[in-house]
Structure 1
Amino acid sequence: MGLGSRDYFRDGDGDMEWNSDAPAVRIIIITTLVALILQLVWTVPVPGGLDRESLLDRWLQMDTSAVLSGQIWRLVTYAFLHGLSPWHFIFNMLFLWWFGPTLERMYGTREFIAFYLSAAVAAALGGVAWDLSMQDSSKIVGASGAVLATTMLYTMHFPRQPIGLFFGLLTVEMRVLMAFLVFLDGFYALAQWGGRMGGTGVAHPAHLLGVAFGWAYFHFNWKITGLLNIFESLQERWKVYRARKRLKVFSPEPSSPLEEDVDRILAKIHEQGEASLTPKEREILTKASRAYRERR
């Protein structure tokens, strides 16, 4: 059974549908397609040369030296860009279209988006670690790390799911396909690490970190939006704490003996009238009146 035979890829007439109940997958694919078009047409001259380069690449591609200088947005934005080979874009988006909708339905749109972007960051950090270990600063574009994380998560849920390759000529289980992809990336990464092979133009370490993130997400039952909710809760508590610190609480001064005498005398006037006051009590009222005027 190939991927196209699953019920969530077909409508009533048996044709593939545009995953109407998986909005995150649609948004990611459309955004990536728009970015690819802009990469092709929005170009600027390369400094000191005759060639031209994509302005999106210049500002959004994964660049270890740029990230270390503070341009951390590249840890995410590179995943929406692709190289000049159309197959890079096509296969990444096909894998996302095949496996993403099921996961989005299982985890919810918000959690799936958080997973996809976090996987992209994890893959980018793998590229940074690789560059630092190799004393290099490579430039990376492509959704492969996040897509492989998605594929790995799908495999963890459905390891024995059959998938048809080469237009259905070969059918293998998801776990076999995933093992083959990991083997390829691992082989080339080790060959580069050992100096047996130069750059292949593929970010194999980033791919492997994406796979590892997908495995860890399933194995440890992570919920990224849950972590975000905790962070938001801490933010709210901090705001409440700051607000409380700015509040000025009125604390009345303790009653003095003079005020107690005044209260007693006023109560007496209320009950018996002013004529009932003794000379000493009148003197206390006069003294209290003078003290109140001085406070003002």
Structure 2
Amino acid sequence: MMRISETVKHLLLINVIMFIGTLAIGEGILFYDWFAMHFPGNESFKPWQIITHMFMHGGWSHLFFNMFALWMFGSPVEQVLGSKKFLFIYFSAGLGAVAMQVGYYYFQYLPIYDSLVSSGLSGNEIIQMLSTNKVIEGTTQAQVAELQNIFPIYNASMVGASGCLMGIMAAFGMMNPNAELMLIFLPIPIKAKYFIPGIIALDLISGISGQSIFGYGNVAHFAHVGGAITGAIIMWYWKKTQFNRNRWY
């Protein structure tokens, strides 16, 4: 069995502790309010959530698969790059994931919000209805339909290390392009240089279509794409400017 590297070991421990805290404090509700990443336009958003959501998970299976990926891909990446560069990719990918997912949310949210303002609603009225899920008197059916379109965005929250891990997976794939990987439900060995771009492409298709290809709901697909792109850009830059052609260290 591959040895767990030190930084990966610490990240595993932090994620598990945070998950236990979610179960133990306020039946998870308080922990999610404090540390999950909320839509920035929502009053529940706090700046620290940009980082803390990376250590939150929505259930045992979510935690298990993310931590398994952290061990599987994180340890070999850290062993080659060292802890500082590993952490730089990890958190940069997490930030890239947030930026792309929130950017996509705003791409959907702002045109509808502006349309509602143009139709006669004030900003305060819009936020009040989105926050309480109660329609104020005088709101038209057309306005209600538009409010329903942005209600899930305004009340969206993000949790999980998936964005960070997609960046680490991208780094692993660039370092080990011929390593053979397999999906649990598709036990066919595929080289990393095909496997990881394929996973990114599936996330992109799912994000654009709004339908998860693997049937899982409530997945921040654009966060996955943002994390992977960030990790790949960092590794490309490091290879170009700091390393020779034959090694990553």
Kindly indicate whether the alpha-carbon contact (under 8 Å) linking 1:25 and 1:100 is maintained by their aligned counterparts in 2. Answer: yes
The match for 2:137 is none
Distance 1:167 1:103 in 2: 25
Listed as ranges, the gaps of 5+ residues in structure 2 are 110-152, 241-249
CA RMSD of superposed structures (Å): 2.6
Listed as ranges, the matches of 1:216-227 within 5 Å are: 216-221=233-238
Paired residue secondary structure (1:172)? strand
Distance 1:166 1:72 in 2: 36
Kindly indicate whether the alpha-carbon contact (under 8 Å) linking 1:67 and 1:74 is maintained by their aligned counterparts in 2. Answer: no
**Alignment of 1:188 onto 2:206:** yes
State the AA in 1 paired with 2:233.
Answer: A
Paired residue secondary structure (1:54)? helix
Distance 2:44 2:30 in 1: 19
Aligned residues: 192
Go from structure 1 to structure 2 and tell me whether the alpha carbon gap of 1:174 and 1:67 turns closer, same or farther (over 3 Å shift): farther
**Alignment of 1:162 onto 2:145:** no
Listed as ranges, the gaps of 5+ residues in structure 1 are 10-16, 44-51, 194-198, 224-296
The match for 2:221 is 204
1:28-87 deviation line (CA, Å, top 9, x unaligned): 0110011111111211xxxxxxxx543221111111226899722111110100012x22
Paired residue secondary structure (2:178)? coil
Kindly indicate whether the alpha-carbon contact (under 8 Å) linking 1:67 and 1:75 is maintained by their aligned counterparts in 2. Answer: no
The match for 2:23 is 40
Cα deviation for residue 165 of structure 1 reads 4.3
% identical equivalent positions: 24
Distance 1:161 1:96 in 2: 17
Distance 1:222 1:121 in 2: 21
Listed as ranges, the matches of 1:233-244 within 5 Å are: none
TM-score normalized by structure 1? Answer: 0.59
Listed as ranges, the matches of 1:85-234 within 5 Å are: 86-135=60-109, 136-137=153-154, 138-166=156-184, 169-192=187-210, 200-221=217-238
Paired residue secondary structure (1:59)? helix
Rg larger in 1 or in 2? 1
Cα deviation for residue 200 of structure 1 reads 3.0
**110-119 or 75-84: which moved more?**
110-119
**Alignment of 1:27 onto 2:1:** no
Kindly indicate whether the alpha-carbon contact (under 8 Å) linking 1:152 and 1:214 is maintained by their aligned counterparts in 2. Answer: yes
Distance 1:94 1:122 in 2: 22
Runs of 4+ aligned structure 1 residues displaced above 3 Å come to 66-70, 164-169
Distance 2:24 2:236 in 1: 42
State the AA in 2 paired with 1:151.
Answer: M
Distance 1:167 1:191 in 2: 23
